[in-house]
C-alpha cells in the first residue's frame, strides 16, 4: 500500500486549507473594516490559519484516502491478501466509507472463490462423465464389431456378446437417468411432496423389490421396524429411492451369506432414526467423507463390475438435503457399514398414514 509523502499534500486537504484561509481573510476584513488587500497582519493571519487547516486535514485525511484507494486497486486486480488493512474502526464518515470498501472486498473475494470452486467442479464433473460414458460405449462398440466380423456365426459366443452389449447399454441408461435425477434436484425442478406415511409399509415394499437381487448374491434381507412406530413425514417416493439406493449398495458390497437389515427407532426428540445396516466388506475411514461425491468409488474396478454409476449416494445426499436431513455413515473394513438418517414424525393415526401412503 503506497504511503503518503509528508510534503505532498492531499488535494482534498489543499482545497480545505484554501477555503479556511479565504474564509479567515473575509472574516478578518469584515470585523476590522479594512479594505480588501490591505493589512499585512490580516493576510498573515489568514495564511497561518489556512496552513494549519491544510496540515491538520492532510494528517487526518491523506493516509485514510490512500488506504481506501489502494484497497480498491487491489480489489480491481482480484488481490485480497492485504484486505485486512482496510478493516478500520468506524469513527467517522470516512472510516465508514473505508469499512464499506473492506466489506465489498470481502464479498467479492468470497464470490470469486466460489466461482473458481464451481469451475473446478464443472471441469472435474465433465471429465468424470466423459470417462464413465466411454467405458460402456467402447464395450458396446467392441462387442458389436466382433459380432459383425464373424462372431454372428459363432453360436457358442454370440449370445454371450449380445448379453454384454445389453448389460453395457443398461449401464448407459442408468447413468443418464441418475444424471437427470441429480440435475432436477439441484435446479429445483423436482418438487418434494411432503406427507405422512408408514415407514413399516415402505420398508416392506423396498425389501420385497430387492429380494431377487439379494438372493442372487446369497444375502439375507430383513427389517426391525416396530409396527407401533408413529408415521413419519417426507416425500414417500424420494425416501423410497433413498432406501433402495442404500439397500442396493449394501447388497452389492456384501459377501455370500451376509445380512442387510433395515432398523428404525424412535428418538427422545420425537424423530425416527432410520438405518440400513450390513455386515459386508465395509469402508476405510479415509474414504467415508467422500462417499457422497459424484462418481467417487472406493474400489473402482469392483464398482464397475457391480454395475453402479457412482451417483447413487450423491442422489441420496441431495434427497436428504431437500428434507433438511443428512446421511450419517459408520463403517469399518471387514465389519460392515451403517447408513442412517432421521425423519420427523407427525401426530396422526397410523391408519391415516397407511391410507396416505
CA dist 304 and 136 (Å) reads 10
Which of these three, 187, 218, 238, is where a domain ends? 187
Closest to 199 measured CA to CA, from 258, 264, 147: 264
pLDDT of amino acid 239: 95
Which of these three, 123, 153, 187, is where a domain ends? 187
Shared-domain flag, residues 202 and 170: no
Question: In this predicted model, which residue has the larger pLDDT, 349 or 318?
Answer: 318
pLDDT tens track for 132-162:
777 788 888 888 888 888 777 777 778 888 8
Which of these three, 187, 212, 239, is where a domain ends? 187
Angle separating helix axes 158-187 and 93-148, nearest 10 degrees: 160
C-alpha to C-alpha distances, 356 to 197, 270, 348, nearest whole angstrom = 6, 21, 11
Shared-domain flag, residues 153 and 230: no
> CA quadruple 274, 276, 279, 283: dihedral positive or negative?
negative
Shared-domain flag, residues 232 and 323: yes
Shared-domain flag, residues 288 and 351: yes
pLDDT tens track for 321-354:
989 999 999 999 988 999 999 999 986 444 443 4
pLDDT of amino acid 327: 95
Q: Are the C-beta atoms of residues 137 and 171 closer than 8 Å to each other?
A: no
Shared-domain flag, residues 229 and 143: no
> Mean per-residue pLDDT for 266-276?
94
Q: Are the C-beta atoms of residues 214 and 325 closer than 8 Å to each other?
A: no
C-alpha cell at 223: 427389517
Closest to 296 measured CA to CA, from 306, 308, 305, 307: 308
Shared-domain flag, residues 182 and 199: no
Q: Are the C-beta atoms of residues 355 and 199 closer than 8 Å to each other?
A: no
Kindly tell me if the per-residue pLDDT of 201 is higher than 90.
yes
CA dist 118 and 311 (Å) reads 18
Kindly tell me if the per-residue pLDDT of 38 is higher than 70.
no
pLDDT of amino acid 47: 65
> pLDDT band for position 260 (50/70/90)?
very high
Instruction: Output the average pLDDT for the chain.
Output: 78
pLDDT of amino acid 182: 75
90-99, 102-111, 168-177, 196-205, range with greatest mean pLDDT: 196-205
Shared-domain flag, residues 206 and 259: yes
Shared-domain flag, residues 279 and 213: yes
Residue 16 belongs to a domain: no
pLDDT tens track for 77-118:
777 777 776 776 766 677 777 778 877 888 888 888 888 877
Shared-domain flag, residues 133 and 267: no
CA dist 194 and 237 (Å) reads 10
Query: In the Cβ-directed half-sphere of 49, how many Cα atoms lie within 13 Å?
Result: 15
> Mean per-residue pLDDT for 190-198?
87
Instruction: Give the CATH number of the domain where residue 181 resides.
Output: 1.10.287.130
Give the domain range for residue 165.
Answer: 111-187
Closest to 322 measured CA to CA, from 191, 232, 196: 191
Backbone angles phi, psi at 316, to 5 degrees: -55, -45
Q: Where are the alpha helices (DSSP H) in the chain?
A: 11-32, 40-57, 63-76, 93-148, 158-187, 199-216, 236-252, 300-306, 312-322, 350-356
pLDDT of amino acid 300: 55
Residue 74 belongs to a domain: no
Residue 79 belongs to a domain: no
Question: In this predicted model, which residue has the larger pLDDT, 75 or 226?
Answer: 226
CA dist 206 and 208 (Å) reads 5
C-alpha cell at 127: 471429465
Report the percent of the chain where pLDDT is more than 70: 71
The contacts of residue 281 (CB under 8 Å, 6+ apart) are: 253, 254, 255, 333, 334
Kindly tell me if the per-residue pLDDT of 189 is higher than 90.
no
pLDDT of amino acid 59: 61
> Mean per-residue pLDDT for 289-299?
80
Instruction: Give the CATH number of the domain where residue 275 resides.
Output: 3.30.565.10
Shared-domain flag, residues 207 and 320: yes
The answer to which of 30-34, 103-107, 309-313 has the lowest mean pLDDT is 30-34
Residue 251 belongs to a domain: yes
Three-state DSSP state, 259: strand
Query: In the Cβ-directed half-sphere of 35, how many Cα atoms lie within 13 Å?
Result: 2
Kindly tell me if the per-residue pLDDT of 1 is higher than 50.
no
Kindly tell me if the per-residue pLDDT of 215 is higher than 60.
yes
Gyration radius (Cα) of the chain, Å: 36
CA dist 152 and 212 (Å) reads 32
Residue 35 belongs to a domain: no
Q: Where are the alpha helices (DSSP H) in 222-289?
A: 236-252
- Specify the residue for cell string 459424484: 294
Q: What residues does 329 pair with on adjacent strands? A: 339
Shared-domain flag, residues 143 and 266: no
pLDDT of amino acid 247: 96
> pLDDT band for position 11 (50/70/90)?
low
Shared-domain flag, residues 244 and 308: yes
Domain count, the chain: 2
Amino acid at each position: 500500500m503506497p504511503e503518503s509523502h509528508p510534503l505532498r499534500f492531499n488535494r482534498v486537504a489543499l482545497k480545505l486549507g484554501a477555503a479556511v484561509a479565504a474564509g479567515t481573510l473575509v472574516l478578518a476584513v469584515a470585523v476590522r473594516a479594512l479594505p480588501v488587500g490591505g493589512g499585512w497582519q490580516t493576510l498573515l493571519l489568514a495564511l497561518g490559519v489556512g496552513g494549519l487547516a491544510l496540515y491538520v486535514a492532510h494528517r487526518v485525511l491523506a493516509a485514510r484516502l490512500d488506504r481506501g484507494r489502494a484497497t480498491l486497486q487491489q480489489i480491481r486486480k482480484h488481490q485480497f491478501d492485504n484486505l485486512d488493512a482496510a478493516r478500520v474502526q468506524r469513527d467517522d464518515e470516512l472510516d465508514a466509507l473505508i469499512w464499506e470498501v473492506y466489506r465489498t472486498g470481502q464479498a467479492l473475494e468470497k464470490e470469486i472463490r466460489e466461482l473458481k470452486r464451481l469451475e473446478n467442479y464443472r471441469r472435474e464433473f465433465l471429465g468424470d462423465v466423459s470417462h464413465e460414458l466411454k467405458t460402456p460405449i467402447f464395450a458396446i462398440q467392441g462387442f458389436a464389431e466382433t459380432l459383425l466380423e464373424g462372431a454372428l456365426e459363432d453360436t457358442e459366443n454370440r449370445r454371450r456378446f449380445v448379453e454384454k452389449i445389453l448389460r453395457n447399454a443398461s449401464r448407459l441408461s442408468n447413468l443418464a437417468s441418475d444424471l437427470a435425477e441429480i440435475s432436477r434436484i439441484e435446479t429445483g425442478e423436482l418438487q418434494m411432496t411432503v406427507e405422512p406415511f408408514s415407514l413399516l409399509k415402505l420398508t416392506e415394499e423396498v425389501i420385497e423389490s430387492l429380494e431377487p437381487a439379494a438372493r442372487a448374491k446369497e444375502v439375507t434381507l430383513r427389517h426391525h421396524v416396530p409396527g407401533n412406530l408413529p408415521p413419519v413425514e417426507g416425500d414417500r417416493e424420494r425416501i423410497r429411492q433413498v432406501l433402495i439406493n442404500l439397500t442396493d449398495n449394501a447388497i452389492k458390497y456384501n459377501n455370500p451369506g451376509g445380512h442387510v437389515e433395515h432398523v428404525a427407532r424412535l428418538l427422545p426428540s420425537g424423530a425416527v432414526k432410520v438405518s440400513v445396516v450390513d455386515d459386508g466388506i465395509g469402508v476405510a475411514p479415509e474414504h467415508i467423507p467422500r462417499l457422497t461425491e459424484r462418481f467417487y468409488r472406493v474400489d473402482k474396478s469392483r464398482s464397475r463390475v457391480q454395475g453402479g454409476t457412482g451417483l447413487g449416494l450423491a442422489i441420496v445426499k441431495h434427497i436428504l438435503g431437500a428434507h433438511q436431513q443428512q446421511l450419517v455413515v459408520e463403517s469399518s473394513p471387514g465389519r460392515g457399514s451403517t447408513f442412517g438418517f432421521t425423519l420427523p414424525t407427525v401426530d396422526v393415526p397410523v391408519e391415516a398414514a397407511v391410507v396416505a401412503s
